[in-house]
Amino acid sequence: MGSMRIQDTVAVVTGACGTVGRALAMELAKREAHGLALVDGNSEVKSLAAEVNRMAGDWVSQGFWGDLTDAGFRTRVFEQTGERCGSVNVLVPASANGDGPSSSGGAERSRIVPVYWALEMVARIAARRERSGLKSWNPGEPPQGMVFFIRPLSLRVHDGFGPSPACRQEWERAAIALMTRAEFHGVRCAVMLPGEAESGLARAAGLGTGRGPGTLAGPQPNVEAIAKAICFMIADYTESLVTSPPRNN
């Protein structure tokens, strides 16, 4: 599987103020990720970034507060992160939906926003390859990036509770389009179903503390274990990624 090698990664984590996103930010910093963009619709994300930096004993993360459904905000996150840390090569959309101050696209439509964030990263990797004269990725090359979806609980149906079939179909079509395009450019995609951890994902699904109609009883997954599992997967995929430029402090 390869050794843990996250030191060369520049990661964007959306929904960073949720329990899963927070645990993942801390775990990535502990493993010396090169740079972290922590994104959330909660202004506390700025404090979270400062906390991560204190824990790391160095500047490693920057907090971005805004509306995740806003394309302009998304562009700014990638551009500012790229300027300071190098090109983003890992994306973990840990938010259940838009998670912004407002959801201009509506609650249903905002659930596919994580796919749009992933497409942003893939498009930037594709543009960079084109500028370098490279065409479609082939297995002889190192992987160019990694998208690790935490599939929103809000896309599941519990005894009639859940999004409309049209919303689920839209998410599925967008995800399929992403995976097809991502593989062409050397970006690998994975999906994790974390169960009903006590997190923003569960609350967004209207499941309270992680229990709702039609759910199975049993222990809730530990968010730190989820974060470590994600890091394990990231390390396997990013071991041979191109080293990012030195960080500008």
Express each pLDDT in 150-200 by its tens digit.
Answer: 765 444 444 444 445 555 566 566 666 666 667 778 888 877 766 544 444
pLDDT, averaged across the chain:
74
Cα–Cα distances (Å) from 107 to 67, 113, 167, 196, in that order, read 13, 11, 10, 20
Give per-residue pLDDT as tens, 122-153: 999 989 988 989 888 887 777 788 888 876 54
0.85 exceeded by pTM: no
Confidence of residue 92 (pLDDT cuts 50, 70, 90): very high
Higher pLDDT, 105 or 117: 117
Amino acid at 207: L
If you average pLDDT over residues 16-30, what whole number do you get?
93
**Ranges of each domain in the chain:** 10-211+218-238
Beta-carbon contacts of 149 under 8 Å, excluding residues fewer than 6 positions away, are: 93, 114, 118, 175, 189, 190, 191, 192
Distance in angstroms (rounded) separating the CA atoms of residues 157 and 116: 23
* CATH number, domain 10-211+218-238: 3.40.50.720
* Token pair belonging to 52: 């991560």
Radius of gyration of the chain (CA): 17
By percentage, how much of the chain surpasses pLDDT 70?
Answer: 62
